[in-house]
Amino acid sequence: MAKATNTNINEDILAFLRQDELDYPGAAQKFGAAAVPFLQEITEGSDENLATKAAYLLGYINGESAKGALVAAAGNKFSTVRIAAAYGAASQDADTAKSILGSLLSDYDHGVVKVTMRSIVEKKLGKSLAKELKAVQKSLPAELKAQAQRMIK
């Protein structure tokens, strides 16, 4: 019986993710931690659009399993999934957020770095990630370099 329930939940999750306009907080409340394994599976798949939406949804789910899945999403091959992980890190506890955001600061995609920096500001982690910010400053475009300098102060 549990297998049928998981199948139904997975079908509901896929139906949700295939919509154009998504209520991520509502879906996180509806599906909860039970959705995390399937969402992680989707983030590791080859469909960039679904993987990105799944990573965004992970950011709205609290709990240990969601943290691990979000950390994994931060290492995804698709920059849009890494952006979603950076965004979602802002809703996690400070240690999880620092782990995710610290690693994404050195991403080769400046879009990922930009969202990462926004999440750092939102979580007020600039001082605790000052070392990482200083390390990546040299490789950033002028706009992001200036922002990194402000965040360190």
At position 127, the amino acid (one-letter code) is K
What's 62's domain CATH number? 1.25.10.10
Grouping H, G, I as helix, E, B as strand and the rest as coil, residue 23 is: coil
pLDDT of 145: 75
CA distance 146 to 153: 11
Report residue 150's pLDDT band, with 50, 70 and 90 as the boundaries.
Answer: confident
Structural domain span for residue 109: 2-152
Average pLDDT of the chain? Answer: 90
- Taking the C-alpha atoms of residue 88 and residue 1, their distance in angstroms, rounded to an integer, is 33
Q: Looking at the 3D structure of the chain, how many domains does it have?
A: 1
The pLDDT of residue 55 is above 90: yes
Confidence category of residue 133, pLDDT binned at 50, 70, 90: confident
In angstroms, the CA 40 to CA 31 distance is: 14
